[in-house]
Amino acid sequence: MVSTEAARMTVGVLGNIVALFLFLSPVPTFVQIWKKGSVEHYSPAPYLATLVNCMVWTFYSLPMVHPHSTLVLTIDGAGIAIELTYLIIFFIFSDRKKRLKFLLGLLIELIFISVLTSLVLTLTHSHKERSLIVGIIGILFGIMMYASPLVVMKMVLTTRSVEYMPFFLSFTGFLSGLTWSTYALIQFDLFILVPSVVGVVFSMAQLILYATFYKSTKRQIAEREGKTGQMDLLELVVNEEESKKVGSGAP
């Protein structure tokens, strides 16, 4: 019979793998941003929310706060590095207005984490107290991370297009929430369970939206590309006519 600890370890390792795919799922989006040289209508909100969430949970999983949380520490530490990479790319290809908003958001997050760390380690002196405080904050930021795509979901409902709501981010978010919910239930941890369940709900809502507007998105893209093709053809015809006039000496 598999022990509770072994089962939790197995699910935790699986959770690390799934969460890693979650963190890496926006890579195609940022490759596209890099190629186009613009962030277009993409928002930094999900990546800022994920960054602060990872920082809070990394703090939660440290031995001086919540011992025996190595699997939480490893994946959230990796998440910090990955999200910072995305945000650097976002900063490079944003316009001045978006850069200022982005920098303000990042500065607020860094100040918050610094103050939280200092206060918790200075004013509390037991694992139970530290876990309680950081765990409650972790719940709030975990919910915020999973709810951050609501901005994009609103745009999807308005435009009837999922072009700027990456499918794999929603899909891996659903799997990650499901896996970490299981992890938290094996050896009950309310602080991990609550945001994970919320993640399942929000990610499912995104997947439903994706399925609902997938066809209309394809149609909009095809129509846009068709118009672009017509414009290019018209420009080519005009250029040919101009060349003929120049060659014939016509006024």
| Integer Cα distance of 95 and 38 in angstroms | 8
CA separation, residue 22 to residues 19, 59, 81, 194 (Å)? 5, 20, 14, 18
How many residues are present in the chain? 251
- pTM to 2 decimal places: 0.71
Classify residue 43: in a domain, yes or no.
Answer: yes
How far is it, in rounded angstroms, from Cα 16 to Cα 82?
14
**What local confidence, expressed as pLDDT, does residue 227 receive?**
59
Question: How confident is the model over 56-72, as a mean pLDDT?
Answer: 90
- In the predicted model, is pLDDT for residue 11 greater than 80? yes
**CA 11 – CA 182 distance, rounded (Å):** 7
Furthest C-alpha separation in the chain: 93
The domain containing residue 63 runs over which residues? Answer: 4-214
220 within a domain of the structure (yes/no) = no
22, part of any domain = yes
Tell me whether residue 100 is in a domain.
Answer: yes
Domain count, the chain: 1
Taking the C-alpha atoms of residue 67 and residue 188, their distance in angstroms, rounded to an integer, is 15
Which DSSP helix (H) or strand (E) runs through 141? helix 127-147
Could you read off the pLDDT of 136-186 as tens digits, one per residue?
Answer: 998 888 887 777 667 777 777 777 777 777 777 788 888 888 998 998 898
| Token pair for 214 | 């997938």
Cβ distance 149 to 46 under 8 Å?
Answer: yes
Residue 251 is assigned to a structural domain of this protein:
no
CA distances from 113 to 17, 108, 117, 204 (A): 26, 9, 6, 30
pLDDT in tens, 211-236: 888 888 888 777 777 655 454 444 54
Task: For residue 237, tell me if it sits in a domain.
Answer: no
Has residue 239 been placed in a domain? Answer: no
Q: Is residue 248 part of a domain?
A: no
Q: State the DSSP string of 50-69.
A: HHHHHHHHHHHTSTTTSSS-
Q: Determine contact, residues 207/170, Cβ cutoff 8 Å.
A: yes
